[in-house]
Structure 1
Amino acid sequence: MLMALLRADCQRGVLTLLLLAAALTDMCRGQLGLQAPVLVQEPPARLRFSNSTGSQVSCAARGSPPPDVAWQHADGSPVTAVPGLRQTLGNGTLYFPPFRAEDYREEVHSATYRCKASNLGGAVLSRDVVVRAVVRQDYEVQVYRAHALLGNTAVLRCVIPPFVRDDVSVSSWFRDDTIILPGSHDAGITRPYTATFTPTPRQ
């Protein structure tokens, strides 16, 4: 019984010390004019860009004293400059310059980043930013033959290579030299890569 009472008193004492420490910290912050960082420009959740254009993502914060803004990887390690491929600028911007297809590096161009703003008052992390660079390269699409009875519906599929599928959309279909748009009496685009046709007798 005595040990239980002592343990309870000890726990209350530790809690009291923690509360006092938090109060003293807040008081010191107020006396010193400290303000924890607050993000005023949070980067987007995703950044996609072409290797021929490059891109950048920015992060900004306010606080007192003015916070330092740095970029880090998903595991918390700091982001460093990679000559010609990745730069960290002094204004909180992470810059990806244009690059040649043969210079693509997965750990740079297909990675997750986040920014961290910190000062004497504390620190704040941004959301994760998933970065993906798309390398411009030649590709071909295929449409395979489909069979259907006269008066029934045939479904044709536009087959796009997997390495560009996420970055390509079908804008129109052609029959001979004629563009077939959605809404035609015998054709309709039902999904991004398919079209339905109703065969009719030739005149």
Structure 2
Amino acid sequence: MQLSAGRVTLLLALHSALRAAAVAARAEHNEIEYNAVDNDLAVAEDEMSLPSFVKWIGNVTAPVGKDVTLHCSVHNLGKYRVGWMKSDTRTILTVYDLVVTNNPRISISHDLQHTWSIHIRQLKKSDHGCYMCQLNTKPMRSQMGCVDVQVPPDIVSSESSSDRSLAEGDSARLTCTARGYPPPTITWRREDGQPIYVLGDFRNGQKVRQVTGSTLNLTRATRRQMGAYLCIARNDVPPAISKRIFVYVNFRPEIEVQQQLLGIILGGDVTLDCHVEAFPNTVNYWLNQRDEILLGGQKYSLSEQKRGYRVIMRLRIMRVSRADIGVYRCFASNSMGTSEASIRLHHMQRPPAPAGHGRQTGARHTEAPITAPTPSSAASRRPADLTTALLVVLTRWR
């Protein structure tokens, strides 16, 4: 097929137009790429001109009352400004070299190079938290450092047990609440260093030197568990603190007499002892064989030796006469009850001097507790003669 001259001319013109359009499109694309590169370079230059942090601020740990400092190091600060704020409360503390908070314990310093330091004097518990160092760039740049304020332990008396009083056989629960940071550890010990009986009494319970925890349980308390207990709270911040809680165990008096029969030679002195265990404290007194209450004087000497819930009642009779021979009773009474015990005073004859010896002189034993001599094999089948036994004892003492 042959084309006319007009059609050929039209095709040539169309081809030239397409080529021109392609060249223009490529030129426009190259221009866009060049502009994007220029923008990237401009952004990079802006990034390089912005300030940056040199190093991490870091965290500080200190006890209450100490001074702390946080350092914010900035490179290429230029026209920008540094500010400090409390992160949790969003409170602005400083702007550049100006302190804007009303807290007189806060101050700011600059080393004239690139470090801005915030100082907190005499730390308080409320100073605990994180602090932000800000740069007023767009967008804002910031970094944080935290202050860990350690608080020494403190026992909350209103939430802890006070002195306790209970009857023997009852159980007691002692509590102790302490605050501080880090959270304190609580241990219990006896003030006198004696063991603590838990999970039962001293006969079948568990015996430990100390108990850890805010609660101390005394199960079926006995008189041996009476005393002062120390609740001790401690953490990593000295000093440790303690609270003293006294446990009173009430029980009726119990009296033990070690010698229920005492022998005495007339004219000598004799001492009678009664061992009492009781709490609360007892009213103690002696009665003679005529049920008369004995009072101190030239004839009688009364004394007591007290140690904890134990008391030794002591009666000393001077220049014993025949009228003093008989039964003496000791009494102990408190709010839990009354108890008594008796001691019999027995008259002994002075043994004759051994044959062939003159009169003996020297110290004279005036008290002679009655003890039976060991029977011989020949006399083991009949009771020992009391007079013979006394003679043997006195002969040995002489």
Report TM bin, short chain: 0.3 to 0.5
TM-score, scaled relative to structure 2: 0.25
- Between structures 1 and 2, the one with greater strand share: 2
Structure number with bigger Rg: 2
